[in-house]
Amino acid sequence: MPDRDDTTNTPAGNVRPLDAGRVLHLQDYETCNPERIQREMRQYWDSLRMGRAVPARTDVDPRGIARALDYAFILERIAPGAGRLRLAGRHLIDLMGMEVRGMPICAFLNTSSRGRFSDVLESVFKAPQIAHLTLAAKSEYARPELRAQMMLLPLRSDLGDVTRALGCLIATGDTGVAPRRFDLVEDEVLPVIDGGATLAPSPSVMGFAEERKGFAPAPTPAPAASTPEERRAMFRVITPRTPDDDRG
């Protein structure tokens, strides 16, 4: 088979050698680089703010993140600590082996990591703030080990509340057999404004041990009887009724 790398066609159809020393830039075909993708996503999100702390969902244009689009997603808050994917790139579909639009974002996490992930996600909406997460999927049969990075950037909805997020998920390595789910290895939250305060992720659902405002505290249980006399004192003797008692 002839080697065609040293020739090119002119508009007139004539064949001529490539210019000596000519450099072809293939930057658009750069291999997956989590740091670059996250950096570009953050820079794009910052460019949408225009003096605001958090940009609006309607400001997001997929053309602005063309090189990161396969790894990007738009998230909608549907409950405290829970988010649903409204849009998702091809990389997320490959990881799950199915269409992921409409699925909860926690579907990418193993059950043991979903509680902490839920806390971090809620802090992104509540503070609002930015979150970086480090994920890992263990090696299994037909599933090589994977490392992944996720970033969550808050967005405002049409109503003005922070219930949307622009994010990206980048896994490096051979995906293997889908679906792939990850453990949450590390998380970090950052302020939306440099120098601002952050909100530490905490459980979204109040524990039973905490008293809720407006509700009386739970009654203290009676101490258990420890002696036979105390145990007998806790019983009441009930005399059964007879038909004669009812007629009286």
Residues in contact with 91: Cβ distance below 8 Å, sequence separation at least 6, in sequence order: 70, 71, 169, 170, 171
Spatial distance between the Cα atoms of 26 and 34, rounded to a whole number of angstroms? 18
Residue 228, H or E segment = helix 228-233
pLDDT of residue 239: 58
| 129: β partners | 191
Q: What tokens does 190 get?
A: 């950052």
Amino acid, single-letter form, for residue 28: D
Query: If we measure between CA atoms, which residue out of 93, 69, 95 comes closest to residue 175?
Result: 95
pLDDT of residue 182: 98
Q: Which CATH superfamily is domain 30-191 in?
A: PAS domain (3.30.450.20)
Spatial distance between the Cα atoms of 38 and 45, rounded to a whole number of angstroms? 10
Spatial distance between the Cα atoms of 152 and 134, rounded to a whole number of angstroms? 12
Q: CA 125, 128, 133, 137: dihedral to nearest 10 degrees? A: 0
Q: Where are the domains of the chain?
A: 30-191
On the question of pLDDT at 236 being above 50, the answer is: yes
The label of the residue with tokens 């579907």 reads: 107
Residue 121, H or E segment = helix 111-126
Which of 17-21, 23-27, 202-206 is predicted least confidently? 23-27
Read off the pLDDT band of 68 (50, 70, 90): very high
Angle, vertex CA 178, rays to CA 188 and CA 132, nearest 5:
10
Query: If we measure between CA atoms, which residue out of 61, 166, 70, 183 comes closest to residue 124?
Result: 166
Asked if the peptide bond before residue 179 counts as cis, ω within 30 degrees of 0, the response is: yes
**Within 13 Å and on the Cβ side, how many CA atoms surround 85?**
22
The label of the residue with tokens 């020739």 reads: 7
Q: Are 189 and 133 in contact (CB under 8 A)?
A: no
Q: 174-232: per-residue pLDDT in tens?
A: 999 999 999 999 999 999 999 999 999 988 543 333 333 444 444 555 555 556 565 55
| Percentage of the chain lying above the pLDDT 70 cut | 69
Q: Are 76 and 163 in contact (CB under 8 A)?
A: yes
Q: 99-110: per-residue pLDDT in tens?
A: 999 999 999 999
